[in-house]
Structure 1
Amino acid sequence: MRTRAICLATGLALLLGVTFIASDARAEHLIVSVSNHRVTVTPNYSGEELVLFGSIERERDTPVPRSGYDLVVTVSGPRVDMVTRRKERWFGIWVNADSRQFLNVPAYLAIFANRPLDKIATPDILRRQQLGLNNVLLTQRVGPDYADVVASDPFRRAFIRLRTDLGLYQENTSAVTFLTPTLFRTGIPLPAEVPTGTYTVGIKLLADGALIAKTETAFEIVKVGFEQFVATTARQHGLLYGVATACMGLMAGWMASIVFRRD
């Protein structure tokens, strides 16, 4: 009786394993790439647009969903700490009244999709998968606590608005184009003020409001030439860089006093 129970349990485990393997074999897979994995920033750099392209690979017996596929691309730049300040007018002078620190947030953040996000999935799934500027995790220091607040929080809204005005945060729900039911592309605009570092590109495939596949790729933005020399010197030899900058300022002031001196 005991041997029979063990055999039954083993058979059930094998059946479940076969089921999981079959389910994985039928799952869609994403194959993606970007047009340039290394962007160089020179003194005359004025911005660039990369192209992300890819395909949805599926087994021959896996049908295309009746409503088609949906794709959301999230491009996230290097992580930094930033502060958003609120100004108030006191006696005719604008002063900093309050501030909020954002911790380890993307310096660059862009979300691209093939249609409006509220048409792709429910608010709960969008929040869980962090799809859209209103759903991305932006941790703040709130007094002694660390938390991501609601999307309507004034500091959060001001932070996103300021980054959007600089072109460093953006959301475009018509940027992803399906060339065929399984081939897609989108552009990744990089403004002139784009920070250097490693950028992660997360691609999530949805169908009928559910996540069915995801993958990642990356590219790097680096400075070259004189700008790279200055940045490296400032980072590795801060004292020397500060002294040299002060000397250059004094020399420029001395030369200006000579040029504009009145005899």
Structure 2
Amino acid sequence: MRRWLALLCLIALPCQADETIVAGLSQANVSITTDFVGSEILIYGAVKRETPAPEGALEVIVTVEGPPAEMTVRRKDWVWGIWINDAEVVVDRAPIFYAIATTGRLEEILSETEDLRHKISIPRAIRAVGTTDEAEGSDLFVEALIRLRAARGSYLDSQGSVRLTEGTLFRTDIALPSNLTEGDYRVRIFLTREGRVVDMLERGIRVRKAGLEQFFTRMAHEQPLLYGLLALLIAGLAGWAASAAFRFIRI
């Protein structure tokens, strides 16, 4: 009898749509050369359904995250006529690049619980792990870090830039700055309904130096002595060339 009751309960439950993401990137590899001025990644896809879509607006969130790095954020105060560092926060996980694009306002399409679980918003993607006794909490330091990196183009907040067509097809463009750092970048795409994440897809982008940039970077790490001697030689040749040019101009 219990088995029959359980079966009847399952039949009585409303069917929910099985929505999954099918997506692609315009390029999965980015090469940093001497004339690199930035790039743009097109992220596009569709929503695959096994059953009709349920009620409630479907929303899309796209994030692009660079490799994390540890850093220390310090606060300066004017003490006895000079500026000194009197408080600091250690951030053990701050992405060197982070971009977020959405179909609407983030606070309207994503709940705080889901943001905490998946670490989607920029503040949630940053983890501050310690403060000095003088610090009044880490939130102000994280806000300062976000503000500074946003001014450099390393943190991008593009809410409302994802185009969703008929609740199925979506696309957005993410601009990569010229000061991009090499590493493995992570692309995440989220589908949400009523603030809840219903599916997530992850892709990767490889950012690597190429040409002379790659040559000098590899030499600096693998043969630092030779790299230093070559730098001195180039500096000497540049100084000699400048001196010769000035003498020629005087004549």
* TM-score in terms of structure 1 length: 0.78
Kept after mapping to 2: 8 A contact 1:30/1:57: yes
Match of 2:104 in 1: 115
Q: 3-state SS of the aligned residue for 2:143?
A: helix
Q: Distance in 1 between matches of 2:118 and 2:127?
A: 14
Query: Could you tell me how far apart the structure 2 residues matched to 1:155 and 1:138 are?
Result: 11
Percent sequence identity is 31
2:92 is matched with: 103
Give the secondary-structure state (helix, strand or coil) at the position aligned to 1:139: strand
Specify which of 39, 51, 63 is matched with residue 42 of structure 2. 51
Mapped contact 2:17–2:54 kept (Cα < 8 A): no
Partner of 1:181: 167
Q: Counterpart of 1:5?
A: none
1:76 corresponds to 2:62: no
2:224 is matched with which residue? Answer: 238
| 1:106-185 matched pairs, under 5 angstroms | 106-142=95-131, 153-185=139-171
SS in 1 for 2:141: helix
Question: Do residues 35 (structure 1) and 35 (structure 2) align?
Answer: no
Number of residue-to-residue matches in the alignment: 240
Give the letter for the 1:40 counterpart: S
Report the Cα distance in structure 2 between the residues aligned to 1:24 and 1:223, rounded to whole angstroms: 50
How far 1:252 moved relative to its partner? 4.9
State the distance in 1 between where 2:102 and 2:224 align.
43
Return the offset for 1:52: 0.2
The whole-number CA distance in structure 2 between the counterparts of 1:239 and 1:64 is 63
Uncovered stretches (5+) of structure 1, i.e. residues with no partner? 1-7
Paired with 2:121 and 2:242, the residues of 1 have a C-alpha distance of 52
Instruction: Please say if residues 74 and 110 of structure 1, whose CA atoms lie closer than 8 Å, have aligned partners that are also in contact.
Output: yes
Q: Deviations over 1:158-180 (max 9, x none)?
A: 11111111111121211111022
1:56 and 1:24 map into 2 onto residues whose CA distance is 18
Task: Name the SS for the 1:118 alignment partner.
Answer: helix
Unaligned 5+ segments in structure 2 are none
CA–CA separation in structure 2 for the residues paired with 1:248 and 1:95: 38
For residues 66 and 90 of structure 1, do their structure 2 counterparts lie closer, same or farther at Cα, with a shift above 3 Å needed? same
Amino acid at match of 1:188: I
1:212-233 CA distance string (max 9 Å, x none): 1111011111111111111111
Q: Could you tell me whether the CA contact under 8 Å between 1:127 and 1:136 is conserved in 2?
A: no
Secondary structure of residue in 2 paired with 1:195? coil
Q: Which amino acid aligns with 1:178?
A: L
